[in-house]
Structure 1
């Protein structure tokens, strides 16, 4: 392998965390003896080179495993792949076995509680597994002791059934039905049978489309009602250190304060997380999704950051798909919120186009290229609201906060709207924002621009937030 490729691999190694290496190693299906000697990306690449899985003329296997673990930033920045190439690669995985893709997908859908349950059912008391919460560690040990293999998924399927993870059982059954040789198929909600929450799924026979019928309301009677999580990214110094021209988001703390003023008096547990990388944003929301929300009746999340179409940006300048953040709370990944409203407010640009006083800043990162090929997931009881429509920018006043969040919070505090459905309130906010004309500084001149918020709803009932007490 020539020096140029070795320098490239060394640069990729610097971008890999410990968990990244563990996931890459799992996808490679290397012999146990080789796996135990691999501690970092460099040793993994050397092993793959010896086995002719990577070479200076063919890095396709490396690209596939990086894509599978979600490191599209490395594909773009280190391997110079554009979005079209990434999309083609995503649709033509050839080197990773369907069996490995299946197990990896299952591992990504097992939360900490699931791992502990699986260890208990396996009676896995070995020293190596005693203190681990890693689903990959548990699956690897099952393979080592012979209880899991390409031709023997029975034990894993049985235990997942005992754990009431029917969604994962169906994935295995689909794999088995294809003889284990077909490309792995992602199972959609229509294939699943989800046990719905009795507290929020009773009496859903009302049909608002028929005369005389009224839409049932979500039942919000818990105390606390749930979490109101704020992911607030202001300081993008880390992104600039990576040579990405992304400005800080002055004024975002004003938004966070206003949000707290709206939801704390409504008996929500408001928790703010500042300046997160793309992976930290995903990790934080996964942590909330793995909690038991049985004694809560809703979940609210505000994401305040830069963004592009279908993505929001971490302080490291890397993007994370909005659908990856919201899917943490679907009926499979967060069963204790099934049938309960899950609301996401996204204060971030969805592109760089201008919808044509005070000088406002753009909540967008410099690159408008994003993973926009997949739409947001259509799961029941979700509402995802955006500060702007697709392809356009959102506006933020460095002194007073963002246009959208401030208008939204004002409406949510308005006593005259205390008994309004959230969708009606959002429509009112949309009208107010759309009617105004704002001044945006572009190339040292101030131009008159417009902003049009939007929302996407899969709510099945009327959502009326409890009044401020």
Structure 2
């Protein structure tokens, strides 16, 4: 028995929770007999069985790597099995051990939320007590369907009818691609980047012609690269007119902490003139993002309506900064989410509340505060609504600090970013009025963030490391 291999497997086992073990067992498929599956309750017993079957050995870890890749345990692959980016790309390109059938079922299970699973169990097994338990997953339901002969490689009709009955016709695309390879876009699983499917309804199966684009059924962007991409911070603190944006370094530090933990390459550029801000955006847009799955940018500066300021006071249109990354100017980010957070005032009107400052341009007080459209896959979030100031103090800005707090809350790790921004808007809107000092006069001030979105899918940011 190779002690080095056993040590690796023990470390991997300790990093896997019960949910991950269940997913691994499912991906093993017929490599584990049904009677044996019931006896596997943790990762150690699974690995012992795979070693007995010679599916995992010192000489060949390809099976283990593939099933870990399938359930998106990229961090484990890199940390404990030293898998390189090239190996990950090969796993994505040419999976060998998991059958297309099992891969398709696993992807479907990942697309259904807990509410969907409850509907499926009600539709399929409303009389079966075991299927009414709170912790039943879609993988449990699929396994039960296979055991009852309701589901097999050549019999997918009940599954298709059930998905249609619960209003998840969108998921049928995966079954259609499995049954008719080549009829639509190549079948892609949940860990691969999706290729846009032609929108000509004549190319779609008959049952998919009806519009089923309800928000909860949206596909999500796949953020499975390492690193995920750049998180760029444009941080203007010291302006040439002597104005200093106090607290902005607290914001930059919070952003760095959040996104480094989420495996982004965080790079900060400080005290930029207007022209340099635009040059840096062009510089990043010309980089090769092929091995990245997203791009994040924070702009921390003074601003006014539709513009932000360089430290020289020059106004730069926000749309000029963001358009550097559209489909014409940055082809390696086509189909991938591009998110911009603007911490700058959008006017000089105080929404009328700890002294806070504003990021307005004229304020003298310290207030703060197959093809795709070329503008697809953008989200631009603003600290305030058009025409109004935003708030910032010694400990940073209201908007950035509260945003980072939400992003670090484990209760929200699986939430769509747009839902998080809506929560952020609600939190800030319901805050007690801040006390804002302007021209020596203290008055109450409020703040209302906003955002615009051209995202086509759910955007669930990657979980932080070790959580």
In the TM superposition, what is the alpha-carbon distance from 1:209 to its structure 2 partner?
A: 5.6
Residue in structure 1 matching 2:397, options 398, 402, 410: 402
Structure 2: distance between partners of 1:204 and 1:218: 18
1:325-352 deviation digits (Å, cap 9, x = unpaired): 0000000000000000000000000000
Cα pair distance change 1:450/1:367, threshold 3 Å: closer
Equivalent residue runs for 1:222-261 within 5 Å: 222-236=225-239, 238=240, 240=241, 247-261=243-257
- 1:208 and 1:215 in contact (8 A); partners too: no
- SS of the counterpart of 1:423? helix
Contact 2:273 2:312 in 1 (8 A): yes
| Partners of 2:223 and 2:293 within 8 A in 1 | yes
How far apart, CA to CA, are the structure 1 residues paired with 2:350 and 2:225? 43
Unaligned runs of 5+ in 2: 1-187, 200-207, 365-372
Q: Does 1:412 align with 2:415?
A: no
Q: Deviations for 1:409-461, whole angstroms, at most 9, x for unmatched residues?
A: 00011100000000000000000011111110122121111100000000000
What is the match of residue 289 of structure 2?
293
Residues 327 and 374 of structure 2 are in contact (CA less than 8 Å); yes or no, is this contact kept in structure 1? no
Match of 1:365 in 2: 361
Deviations 1:54-76 (CA, angstroms, capped at 9, x unpaired): xxxxxxxxxxxxxxxxxxxxxxx
The list of structure 1 runs, each at least 4 consecutive aligned residues, that deviate by more than 2 angstroms after superposition, is 197-213
1:288 Cα shift?
A: 0.3
Partner of residue 163, structure 2: none
TM-score (norm 2): 0.53
Could you tell me how far apart the structure 2 residues matched to 1:387 and 1:224 are? 27
Distance 1:340 1:208, change over 3 A: farther
Say how many residue pairs are matched. 257
Q: Could you tell me how far apart the structure 1 residues matched to 2:237 and 2:375 are?
A: 30
2:437 is aligned with 1:434: no
1:424 alignment counterpart: 419
Separation in structure 1 between the aligned mates of residue 334 and residue 306 of structure 2, nearest angstrom: 24
Task: Tell me, in whole angstroms, the C-alpha distance in 2 between the residues paired with 1:462 and 1:391.
Answer: 29
**Bigger mean CA deviation after superposition, 213-222 or 251-260:** 213-222
CA contact (8 A) 2:353 2:443 kept: no
Does 2:390 correspond to 1:387? no
Q: CA contact under 8 A between 1:208 and 1:214: conserved in structure 2?
A: no
Aligned to 2:161: none
Do the aligned residues in 2 keep the contact of 1:386 with 1:453 (CA within 8 Å)? yes
Q: Does 1:199 align with 2:202?
A: no
* RMSD (Å), alpha carbons: 2.4
User: CA 1:211–1:392 in structure 2 vs 1: closer, same or farther (change >3 Å)?
Assistant: closer
TM-score by length of 1: 0.52
Shift in alpha-carbon separation, 1:211–1:343, aligned structure 2, 3 A: closer
Q: Structure 1 residues 442, 199: CA separation in 2 closer, same or farther (over 3 Å shift)?
A: same
Gapped runs of 5+ residues in structure 1? 1-196, 241-245, 369-376
Q: Closer, same or farther in 2 for the Cα pair 1:456/1:233, shift >3 Å?
A: same
Deviation for aligned residue 1:199: 2.4
Measure the CA separation in 1 of the matches of 2:414 and 2:438: 41
In the other structure, the counterpart of 1:326 is 322
Give me the whole-angstrom Cα distance separating, in 2, the residues matched to 1:360 and 1:228: 27
Structure 1 equivalent of residue 8 of structure 2: none
The Cα of 1:378 is off from its aligned counterpart by: 7.9
Q: Measure how far apart 1:201 and its partner are.
A: 3.6
